DNA sequence: TCTGGGGTCCTAGGACCC
DNA sequence: TCTGGGGTCCTAGGACCC
């Protein structure tokens, strides 16, 4: 969960100790509008207004489209030549659906088979992460040119600290938000929505207020009027489980949540979550905008075309397992990390998942080492049931550069220490 | 007819040490 | 000999997010 800090909250200290004419803390949340679909429409403008879903498995379910692309410019492919949802067979979920497709009840994370029954005529496009990453890089670079304090929150979202940016205070941030929107649109023809608020929590919610292509400016005084009527689920960090529990306790809106006292919330949700919920309902969040962060783990996983059995499909499973380990090793090396916790994840045909991991004495990025220890993890699981997913993870990361230094200095010292221990 | 892939953070119990 | 407590690391599971 996205947690604010509670004791010694910087924001609270600032309120008490900052001079009267200090700039107001102004945090923006920027969210690209229907990002994947919008990028696809840049390529295939002929699909504008039609029900389109993006998703599917790795299989070349779009052979027709692939063939067509070889010969024709994307924008000249007739709509009739695009593959339809009804012609798809196999696993996979929808990553994004256009508004026209959502009219049919089709939405993100829905299985493609189910979606095909709801809207068989919808056009199905394969995900093209290379294209989305390219546009992601482009819009983030544009923002960085204008406002350097940006936190990356994934492929289509960022937080930006407007507080000290020239013009960031004008109209509560609206002027700067408009400038960024225009710069992104001029360069990419993509639209985004921006919320500007005293902190990340409120900014994130505010960016949804005027979607698409909208701006929402909010201040602390807007808490009761604009946030308290919203469903608790709108708080970033309250998901389906917490929401259901809140509903059962008779709490449906953020305003109702705010009426409960901290102690009561802590009794029902635990120290940390209870205190955090209380703060969130009162619009309190002092998390800073974080410019850079190191990854904690790197993983690869895959859902099989069909469920596999550990014994009957041993060869196939073994090949996939080895490939996943090699991919993780490559990812580590490419990104410059080593890790010492090797883990696996299995999902059975009934969708139950289990994980196993073990920690090595030293860090590694070696595919064979990862494969060996992932294999040891796998041996600790009974494999009667068929499997639908296998994953490999490396955690407890440090950068390869740090590890290099560590081996030069720390490791020899430890060896000396061990030798001394043995002598005594 | 089910339900992707890549992450983060939290909890909780046990081992082990001081 | 008994009792207790704190800190850290390891492992497994789960909620949540994009």
User: Does residue A248 sit in the same domain as residue A324?
Assistant: no
Average pLDDT per block of 10 residues along chain A, 424 residues long: 46 53 94 95 94 75 56 89 89 89 89 91 93 96 98 97 96 98 98 98 98 96 98 97 96 98 93 95 96 97 95 97 98 98 97 97 97 98 96 97 86 67 56
Tokens of A158: 């960022």
* A47 domain residue, yes or no: yes
User: Are residues A276 and A309 located together in one domain of the fold?
Assistant: no
A248: CATH: 1.10.150.20
Final residue of a domain: which of A127, A145, A172?
A127
pLDDT in the model for residue A13: 45
Same domain, A376 and A274: no
pLDDT of residue A193: 98
CA atoms within 13 A on the CB side of A100: 14
Beta partners for A192? A32
Same domain, yes or no, for A66 and A102? yes
Range of the domain at A373: 297-407
A165 vs A149: CA distance, rounded Å: 9
What is the model's pLDDT at position A71? 73
Tokens (6 digits) for A111: 């299985």
Q: Verify that A303 and A393 share a domain, yes or no.
A: yes
- A176 located within any domain: no
Is the same domain home to A39 and A119? yes
How do residues A146-171 score in pLDDT, each as one tens digit?
A: 999 999 999 999 999 999 999 999 99
CA distances from A118 to A82, A103, A114 (A): 18, 10, 7
Separation between the CA of A113 and the C1’ of B1 (whole angstroms):
6
Tell me if A70 sits within 8 A of A195, measured CB to CB. Answer: no
A157 counts as catalytic: yes
* Number of domains, chain A: 3
User: In the numeric block, which tokens belong to residue A277?
Assistant: 């919920």
Q: What is the CATH number of the domain that holds A396?
A: 3.30.1490.100
Reading the block at residue A206, the tokens are 């505010």
Q: Please give the Cα distance from A39 to A134 (Å, whole number).
A: 10
pLDDT digit string (tens) for A89-115? 888 899 999 989 989 999 888 989 889
Residues with CB under 7 A from strand C: A 1-2, 153-157, 204, 235-243, 341, 343, 353-359, 377, 380, 396
CA–C1' span, A411 to B18, in Å?
A: 24
The pLDDT score that the predictor gives to residue A121 is 94
**Model's pTM, two decimal places?**
0.91
A287 touches strand B (CB under 7 A): no
**What three-state secondary structure class fits A193?**
strand
């Amino acid at each position: 969960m996205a947690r604010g800090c509670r004791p010694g909250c910087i924001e609270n200290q600032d309120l008490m100790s900052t001079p009267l004419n200090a700039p107001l803390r102004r945090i923006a949340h920027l969210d690209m509008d229907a990002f994947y679909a919008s990028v696809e429409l840049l390529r295939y403008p002929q699909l504008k207004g039609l029900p389109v879903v993006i998703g599917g498995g790795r299989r070349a379910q779009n052979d027709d489209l692939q063939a067509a692309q070889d010969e024709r410019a994307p924008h000249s492919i007739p709509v009739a030549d695009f593959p339809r949802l009804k012609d798809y067979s196999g696993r996979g979920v929808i990553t994004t659906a256009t508004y026209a497709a959502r009219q049919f009840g089709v939405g993100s994370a829905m299985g493609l088979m189910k979606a095909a029954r709801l809207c068989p005529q919808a056009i199905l496009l394969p995900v093209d992460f290379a294209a989305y990453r390219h546009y992601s890089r482009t819009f983030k670079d544009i923002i960085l040119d204008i406002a350097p304090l940006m936190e990356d929150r994934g492929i289509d979202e960022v937080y930006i600290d407007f507080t000290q940016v020239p013009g960031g205070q004008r109209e509560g941030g609206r002027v700067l938000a408009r400038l960024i929107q225009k710069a992104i649109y001029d360069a990419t023809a993509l639209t985004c929505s921006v919320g500007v608020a005293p902190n990340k929590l409120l900014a994130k919610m505010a960016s949804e207020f005027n979607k698409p292509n909208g701006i929402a400016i909010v201040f602390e005084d807007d808490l009761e009027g604009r946030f308290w009527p919203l469903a608790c689920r709108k708080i970033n960090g309250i998901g389906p489980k917490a929401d259901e529990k809140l509903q059962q306790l008779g709490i449906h809106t953020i305003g109702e949540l705010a009426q409960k006292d901290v102690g009561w919330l802590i009794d029902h949700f635990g120290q940390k979550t209870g205190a955090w919920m209380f703060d969130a309902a009162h619009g309190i969040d002092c998390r800073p905008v974080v410019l850079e962060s190191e990854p904690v783990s790197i993983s690869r996983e895959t859902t099989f075309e069909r469920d596999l059995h550990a014994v009957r499909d041993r060869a196939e499973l073994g090949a996939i397992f080895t490939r996943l380990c090699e991919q993780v090793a490559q990812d580590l090396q490419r990104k410059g990390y080593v890790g010492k916790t090797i883990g696996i994840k299995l999902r059975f045909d009934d969708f139950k998942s289990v994980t196993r991991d073990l920690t090595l004495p030293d860090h590694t990025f070696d595919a064979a080492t990862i494969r060996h220890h992932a294999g040891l993890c796998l041996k600790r699981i009974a494999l009667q049931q068929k499997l639908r997913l296998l994953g490999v993870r490396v955690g407890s990361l440090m950068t390869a550069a740090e590890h290099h230094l560590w081996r030069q200095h720390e490791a020899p010292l430890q060896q000396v220490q061990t030798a001394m221990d043995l002598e005594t």
